[in-house]
Chain A
Amino acid sequence: MNLPVPVPFTPAAPAELSIALAVSALLFGLGIVGFLSRRNMIIMFLCTELMFQGAALAMIAFARQYMDVSGQVFVIFILTVAAAEAALALALVVLLYRCRETLNSEAWSDLGEGGA
């Protein structure tokens, strides 16, 4: 894909890339820790969004670094999917809440292999 690139658009310095990647890793790490440590389904859902954003930021950073818009295209797709998924996931959470009157994910652990 060889789209015309705007002239003032120049590759970032390596230091800028590492900052962007560090922020991305931080976001992802926050997300995963939150996801693993919390039981509230809405919080867990927010944490997944956080991980999404971490991944998206890494892509933006690489796209900037290598002067390639496909990274940005990916991010647009990710945002779209995340929006659709947010609608679905929140609807699911509402339904699950209506069944068990709680947002605790452990209320549903009897769906697993023999329980834990």
Chain B
Amino acid sequence: MTTLLAAIPKATIAPELSWLGLAILLPLVSAVVCALAGAFRCKNKFPAVVTSIALGASFVVILQAYLAYSGPVVVPIFQWIEFAWGSGGAFKSFEANCSLYIDSLTLFWMLFVTGLGTLITVYASEYMEGDRGKGYARFFFGISIFLFSMSSLVMGDNLVMLYLGWEGVGLASYLLIGYDYHRPSAVAAAKKAFIVNRIGDLGLALGIFMLWANYGTLQYDELFAAMNAGGQSSVDWDISVIPFLLMLGAFGKSAQFPLFVWLPDAMEGPTPVSALIHAATMVTAGVYLIARMFPFFELHPDALATVAWIGAGTALLAATIGMRQFDIKRVFAYSTISQLGYMFLGLGVGTTFGACYHTFTHAFFKALLFLTAGAVMHGFAGQLDLRKLSGLRHMPGWKIVSWTMFIGCLWLAAFPWTAAFYSKDVILLKALTSERWDFVLLGWVGLFTAALTAYYTFRVWFRVCAGPVKYEMGAESHGAEHDGHDAHDGHAPAAHAVDSHAAHPHAPRWCINGVLIILAIGAIAAGIPAYREVFFHEPNWAQEMMAHSSAVDGAGLGAAHADPHGSSSGSPDGSHHATVLGMDAHTGLAVVGSAASIGGILIAFVLHLRSRSSADRLLAWLKTRPLIGWIPGAMEHKWYVDEIYHGAFRLPMWLGAQVLSLGDKHFLDGAIVDGIGKLPILVGKVFRPLYGGVLQGYAVTMAGGVGLVLAWVVWIWLRGFN
């Protein structure tokens, strides 16, 4: 793959654009206001209003920046870290300014981060209303801190700001997963997320150190220039480990194979948090990191291939687990891991365009899906088991939820002509037309995963939204507050007695429904760039955004700029010569992809709507097969990954901790600290008989002492004083 470093546009310094800093500042201000509201025991929806307004304003700022965008700029805000040692100069000084690096990749990310952040805050204002006066302000403080961190992660002009944001979103994620800190499972999930992310963050930190040691700067523009110039190193280290270190960070944050275990547990957090942080935005930070640092992933020939393998493997693994989960949010969590796997597959096979476009489309439909799941959970007192919910679309007040969930499911299943169909198509096309056999194989794995995705997605929808009306309420007690609003929401059943509240679902109102509709429209609109490309042969907007950033290498337009019909293997244009199943690659993939999606949906239809008992019969039959009988159980138990980690890492560490703890208790504390304390007592015990209380005893001691001194003097005298 050819490095197109020269094609990365050079940024200009534009201090006059410092108003862009508002995009970072506003969430911070809102965080402070929410914290104060919490401190003053605010009982109303004030924190939600403040957060929505601040995030909305920050979205407007980004929109304005997008409309006024003319080329990459560096916007200095203030000097943050700067010091030099020795004689100063290269490798003898360190500088990290609080500056913004605004290029099309930044704007691409910030548009959906702030946009979805605003929408989900509005949704959460209703969703969290039961907690007013309790955790309400704390919740919106967390959301604000998250948006602040995410903005500095994406907009910062150097890796130090990225790292600041990276840790900040990790903190926000921890705080919000553990939002309901009375539940031990939520606390455990928060800890798990934080600790697993630490492993990835170690890689990221080491990668950043290595980058500085080799290029003497952490500012993006200077880094790309230094790399273009060949780089100069202050140390004699193997720089080809840099992509692997950065990759580890990305895998941790984006829940890829070795480190994905935290994301399903993160569903313990409130649903808006799952939608915003653990589906749409934070988990895509890994994709952003790789897209931003894409040139550096070519430092080692196998780095991108590793990303591709891990991505495809995670996609398949998570999809198989998702097929056998019963908790709706868990199914969606595994689908998120699986879709993130697609994005990494896209990055790995060299199409940043496909990966980032898929991130964009995924952000909308996955946030939508989570929010519909949240609406169900909110209305059914925490019920999320898809076996205990049925026929939602026939119930009054649940039409919007059902049909927006239907749209989300269609998009997630990559049904033909949906946005996700096209974004997934870009990734799979690139993989299947690759010259490397293993990428072709991974492409087929991706296609198979697409069929599984369609199946498990519609398993949820057919179970929950279709079929006969039947439901069991969850165990979550709602408190008295809900009785108040049910009376005037107009959707609740007429015979809604106060005492029977816990037995009846209550439909969502307009803050939830409105956001669901807007997100559904957003999910549909996310396909517009693809429609323009497919039907009008205009360049894809997302592709152009990538082509003018540091992700240019995989945007597929870089070579095309110079030569539209170039045969560069780095360009999808080259794929016109490739074939899939004997057809032209584009057509062939569209056919196969549609077949996978529709096939999966049909199987789900048969097993989970037409004849639900057949699903049980099929499962029972599968379990009696000798060779594959264990597979359904293993899938339900998440392939025992948690158990393996428990045995391989947690248990040895726990044992080691026990040993060290014993050593601490008995050696350090017992032998050394207490031993020194016991020494004077022991010495005292030796001399105590001398002071037994018998007067003559004392006198003997004294006389003996005098005698000894005397004897010593005499001895010296006999020796002759020398």
B88 CB within 8 Å of chain A: no
Contact of B703 among A32, A110, A112 (CB under 8 A): A32
CB–CB B697/A116 < 8 A = yes
On chain B, the residues within 8 Å of A110 by CB distance are 693
* CB-based A-B contact count at 8 angstroms: 42
On chain B, the residues within 8 Å of A44 by CB distance are 695
Contact of A36 among B692, B693, B700 (CB under 8 A): B700
Among residues 654 to 707 in chain B, which have CB atoms less than 8 Å away from a CB atom of chain A?
688-689, 691-697, 699-700, 703
CB–CB A113/B693 < 8 A = yes
A105 CB within 8 Å of chain B: yes
Shortest distance between the CB of A21 and any CB in chain B (Å):
15
Among residues 442 to 476 in chain B, which have CB atoms less than 8 Å away from a CB atom of chain A?
none
On chain B, the residues within 8 Å of A35 by CB distance are 696, 699
16 A–B contacts, CB within 8 A, in A order: A36-B700, A37-B696, A105-B694, A105-B696, A106-B694, A106-B695, A108-B695, A109-B692, A112-B692, A112-B694, A112-B697, A114-B688, A114-B692, A116-B693, A116-B694, A116-B697
Among residues 28 to 63 in chain A, which have CB atoms less than 8 Å away from a CB atom of chain B?
32, 35-37, 39, 44
CA separation between A7 and B72, bound complex, in Å? 120
Shortest distance between the CB of B708 and any CB in chain A (Å):
15
On chain A, the residues within 8 Å of B688 by CB distance are 113-114
CA separation between A114 and B684, bound complex, in Å? 12
A1 CB within 8 Å of chain B: no
On chain A, the residues within 8 Å of B699 by CB distance are 32, 35-36
A15 CB within 8 Å of chain B: no
CB–CB A116/B703 < 8 A = no
A111 CB within 8 Å of chain B: yes
A14 CB within 8 Å of chain B: no
Once A113-B688, A114-B688, A116-B689 are accepted as A-B contacts, the answer to whether A36 and B694 lie under 8 Å apart by CB is no
Contact of A111 among B689, B693, B696, B697 (CB under 8 A): B693
Chain B minimum-CB-distance residue to A33? B703
Chain B minimum-CB-distance residue to A44? B695
Shortest distance between the CB of A104 and any CB in chain B (Å):
10
Among residues 59 to 116 in chain A, which have CB atoms less than 8 Å away from a CB atom of chain B?
105-106, 108-116
Contact of B693 among A37, A39, A109 (CB under 8 A): A109
CA separation between A109 and B694, bound complex, in Å? 5
CB–CB B691/A36 < 8 A = no
Shortest distance between the CB of A83 and any CB in chain B (Å):
23
On chain A, the residues within 8 Å of B691 by CB distance are 112-113
Shortest distance between the CB of A89 and any CB in chain B (Å):
13
Shortest distance between the CB of A86 and any CB in chain B (Å):
18
What number of A residues sit within 8 Å (CB to CB) of B? Answer: 17
CB–CB B692/A115 < 8 A = yes
Shortest distance between the CB of A30 and any CB in chain B (Å):
13
CB–CB A105/B695 < 8 A = yes
Shortest distance between the CB of A95 and any CB in chain B (Å):
16
**A-B CB proximity, top 9 nearest:** A112-B693, A116-B692, A109-B693, A105-B695, A113-B691, A109-B694, A113-B688, A112-B692, A116-B694
Shortest distance between the CB of A28 and any CB in chain B (Å):
11
CA separation between A112 and B687, bound complex, in Å? 13
CA separation between A106 and B698, bound complex, in Å? 12
On chain A, the residues within 8 Å of B695 by CB distance are 44, 105-106, 108-109
What number of B residues sit within 8 Å (CB to CB) of A? Answer: 12
Chain A minimum-CB-distance residue to B690? A113
On chain A, the residues within 8 Å of B696 by CB distance are 35-37, 39, 105
On chain A, the residues within 8 Å of B703 by CB distance are 32, 36
On chain B, the residues within 8 Å of A36 by CB distance are 696, 699-700, 703
Shortest distance between the CB of A54 and any CB in chain B (Å):
13
CA separation between A116 and B696, bound complex, in Å? 12
On chain A, the residues within 8 Å of B692 by CB distance are 109, 112-116
CA separation between A36 and B688, bound complex, in Å? 20
Chain A minimum-CB-distance residue to B689? A116
CA separation between A113 and B689, bound complex, in Å? 8
CA separation between A108 and B688, bound complex, in Å? 17
**Interface hub of B691, B696, B699, B703 (most chain A Cβ within 10 A):** B696
On chain B, the residues within 8 Å of A37 by CB distance are 696
CB–CB B693/A108 < 8 A = yes
CA separation between A106 and B694, bound complex, in Å? 6
CA separation between A114 and B693, bound complex, in Å? 8
Chain A minimum-CB-distance residue to B687? A113
Shortest distance between the CB of A64 and any CB in chain B (Å):
24
On chain A, the residues within 8 Å of B694 by CB distance are 105-106, 109, 112, 116
Among residues 530 to 552 in chain B, which have CB atoms less than 8 Å away from a CB atom of chain A?
none
On chain B, the residues within 8 Å of A109 by CB distance are 692-695
Shortest distance between the CB of B651 and any CB in chain A (Å):
51
CA separation between A108 and B703, bound complex, in Å? 21
CA separation between A6 and B560, bound complex, in Å? 133
CA separation between A61 and B409, bound complex, in Å? 121
Beyond the given pairs A108-B693, A113-B693, A115-B693, 16 more chain A to chain B contacts, judged by CB atoms under 8 angstroms and listed by A's residue number, are A35-B699, A36-B696, A36-B699, A105-B695, A106-B695, A109-B693, A111-B693, A112-B691, A112-B692, A112-B694, A112-B697, A114-B688, A114-B692, A115-B692, A116-B693, A116-B694
CA separation between A115 and B691, bound complex, in Å? 8
Chain A minimum-CB-distance residue to B691? A113
Shortest distance between the CB of B705 and any CB in chain A (Å):
13
CA separation between A69 and B455, bound complex, in Å? 121
**Interface hub of B689, B691, B695, B700 (most chain A Cβ within 10 A):** B695
On chain A, the residues within 8 Å of B689 by CB distance are 116
Shortest distance between the CB of A12 and any CB in chain B (Å):
23
Chain B minimum-CB-distance residue to A105? B695
Shortest distance between the CB of B680 and any CB in chain A (Å):
14
Chain A minimum-CB-distance residue to B703? A32
Shortest distance between the CB of B696 and any CB in chain A (Å):
5
Binary interface encoding of chain A residues 8-31 relative to chain B, with 1 for a CB under 8 A from any of its CBs, else 0: 000000000000000000000000
Shortest distance between the CB of B238 and any CB in chain A (Å):
71
Chain B minimum-CB-distance residue to A111? B693
CA separation between A105 and B688, bound complex, in Å? 19
Chain A minimum-CB-distance residue to B698? A112
CA separation between A12 and B548, bound complex, in Å? 121
CA separation between A116 and B694, bound complex, in Å? 7
Shortest distance between the CB of A71 and any CB in chain B (Å):
21
Chain A minimum-CB-distance residue to B693? A112
Shortest distance between the CB of A9 and any CB in chain B (Å):
31
Chain A minimum-CB-distance residue to B697? A116
On chain B, the residues within 8 Å of A108 by CB distance are 693, 695
**Interface hub of A36, A39, A44, A112 (most chain B Cβ within 10 A):** A112
**Interface hub of A108, A109, A115 (most chain B Cβ within 10 A):** A109
CA separation between A39 and B693, bound complex, in Å? 13
CA separation between A112 and B688, bound complex, in Å? 9
Shortest distance between the CB of A51 and any CB in chain B (Å):
10
On chain A, the residues within 8 Å of B700 by CB distance are 36
CA separation between A106 and B695, bound complex, in Å? 7
Chain A minimum-CB-distance residue to B700? A36
Shortest distance between the CB of B512 and any CB in chain A (Å):
80
On chain B, the residues within 8 Å of A111 by CB distance are 693
Shortest distance between the CB of A91 and any CB in chain B (Å):
18
Shortest distance between the CB of B707 and any CB in chain A (Å):
10
CA separation between A22 and B650, bound complex, in Å? 85
Among residues 379 to 414 in chain B, which have CB atoms less than 8 Å away from a CB atom of chain A?
none
CA separation between A35 and B694, bound complex, in Å? 12
Chain B minimum-CB-distance residue to A109? B693
CA separation between A111 and B692, bound complex, in Å? 8
Binary interface encoding of chain B residues 55-66 relative to chain A, with 1 for a CB under 8 A from any of its CBs, else 0: 000000000000
